[in-house]
Amino acid sequence: MSGLLVFGRTGQVATEMARLAPDATFLGRDQADLTDPAACAAAILAARPVAIINAAAHTAVDRAESEPDLARAINTDAPAAMAQAAAELGVPFLHISTDYVFDGSGNRPWVETDATGPLGVYGATKLAGEQAIAAAGGQWAVLRTSWVFSAHGANFVKTMMRLGAEREELRVVADQYGGPTPAAAIAAACLTMIAAMQADPAKGGIYHFAGTDDTTWAGFAREIMSQAELACKVGDIATSDYPTPAKRPGNSRLDCAAIARDFGIARPDWRAALTDVVTELRT
Ligand SMILES: NC(=O)C1=CN([C@@H]2O[C@H](COP(=O)(O)OP(=O)(O)OC[C@H]3O[C@@H](n4cnc5c(N)ncnc54)[C@H](OP(=O)(O)O)[C@@H]3O)[C@@H](O)[C@H]2O)C=CC1
Ligand SMILES: Cc1cn([C@H]2C[C@H](O)[C@@H](COP(=O)(O)OP(=O)(O)O[C@H]3O[C@@H](C)C(=O)[C@@H](O)[C@H]3O)O2)c(=O)[nH]c1=O
């Protein structure tokens, strides 16, 4: 899409978006550092785009616990500045958020209107970003997704394939539930949404989008080992057996009915997408 400005160039979702929208302009850290929100706004006002997507974020969930100011600048203040600049230009702004805005209680898939309750700095700064975007006054959408994977960047699939080639057995948490989501499907969903927003100024708001069907990290790991033909066994453990600096939600299931209803976007089959990613990683 010509005239589309995307923050993020090297990330999982941005890399897939560049494949689908080669005409768009992608700003990397060297052109727009998200620790400098004013520079992000200035980049928008200088480019005068027809639409804006933010695919950049501080995504190191554990590291965010020890660098909350940096996480807040990147995940809250920068998207807030982008949304304000978008509102000033009168163009739609789409931002990507996360299942980690929820507290993980219960076992019902979360709907967009459910109460949030982030357990860590990453989720809290992403939630504050959502709220600042909604307050900016322009046309905006927030796509909350979960457990993103692709052949690029850092993700659970690549970690499991690396560890699975080195070890005979891995212990993986089996009490956190969610939907692994291919970055390629998120990129496609973002492009569909932003085009629909351009066509209809009334469109926008918060939407959930995740791969189907829901599983656990252990279930995801077993499928990765199987598809990558790694003999490594995956043993189920509880969250309490795998201590991490950041707490993670037990229930990350996202109800994706609204995005299907309003944008015609269906949940992607993560197992089929995993086959493509494993093939890409091997070649
Ligand atoms: N990864 C996941 O599992 C999930 C991600 N999300 C959300 O989806 C979106 C895309 O995530 P994903 O593609 O996985 O992200 P990645 O972690 O793959 O990439 C993050 C991107 O943000 C950029 N970035 C980080 N800090 C800065 C900075 N200071 N200035 C400029 N750019 C910066 C990185 O650039 P550089 O390469 O230069 O560091 C990189 O391009 C994010 O909003 C994320 O919160 C939601 C749910 C799950
Ligand atoms: C490597 C490893 C992880 N785990 C657990 C830790 C954790 O609970 C779970 C996933 O670990 P990771 O650290 O890879 O995933 P994490 O960084 O928590 O992934 C999250 O990233 C952010 C950006 C999001 O927005 C979320 O949707 C989610 O994708 O697996 C094991 O149980 N055993 C292992 O050997």
In a domain, 227, yes or no: no
Question: Is 95 part of a structural domain of the chain?
Answer: yes
Whether 276 maps to a domain, the answer reads no
pLDDT above 70: percentage of residues in the chain: 100
Q: What is the CATH number of the domain that holds 100?
A: 3.40.50.720
Identify the pLDDT of residue 60. 97
pLDDT by residue (tens digit) across 97-140? Answer: 999 999 999 999 999 999 999 999 999 999 999 999 999 999 99
* Residue minimizing CA distance to atom 32 of ligand 2: 172
Instruction: Give the model's pLDDT for residue 280.
Output: 95
Q: Residue 59 domain-assigned?
A: yes
For residue 171, being part of any structural domain is answered with no
* Structural domain of 105: 4-154+179-213+253-268
Distance from C-alpha of 281 to C-alpha of 268, rounded to nearest angstrom: 20
Looking at the predicted structure, is the pLDDT value of residue 1 above 80? Answer: no
- DSSP readout, 109-134? PBPTTSPP--SSHHHHHHHHHHHHHH
Closest-CA residue to 241 (of 259, 225, 223, 218): 218
CA distance 220 to 64: 24
Ligand 1 atom 40: residue of nearest CA: 11
- pLDDT confidence tier of residue 282, bands split at 50, 70 and 90: confident
pLDDT surpassing 80 at residue 235: yes
Cα separation, 35 vs 100, in Å, equals 21
pLDDT at 105: 98
Q: Taking Cα atoms as reference points, which of 70, 68, 43 lies closest to residue 54?
A: 43
Residue 277 within a domain: no
Q: 10 Å Cβ neighbour count for 41?
A: 20
**Average pLDDT estimate for 243-265:** 98
Where does ligand 2 bind, in terms of residues with CB under 6 Å?
A: 59, 61, 98-100, 146-148, 156, 159, 170-173, 176, 217, 242, 244, 248
Q: What is the pLDDT of residue 79?
A: 98
Q: Confidence class of residue 2 from pLDDT cuts 50, 70 and 90?
A: confident
State whether ipTM is beyond 0.95. yes
13, part of any domain = yes
* Protein residues with CB under 6 Å of any ligand 1 atom: 8-14, 28-29, 33-35, 55-59, 74, 96, 98, 126, 145-148, 153, 183
Write the pLDDT tens digit of every residue in 198-229: 999 999 999 999 999 999 999 999 999 999 99
Starting from the CA of residue 30, give the closest ligand. Answer: 1
* pLDDT of residue 196 exceeding 90: yes
Is the pLDDT reported for residue 283 higher than 90?
no
Q: Whose CA is nearest to atom 25 of ligand 2?
A: 98
Residue 10 lies in a domain: yes
Note the pLDDT of residue 260.
Answer: 98
Structural domain total, the chain: 1
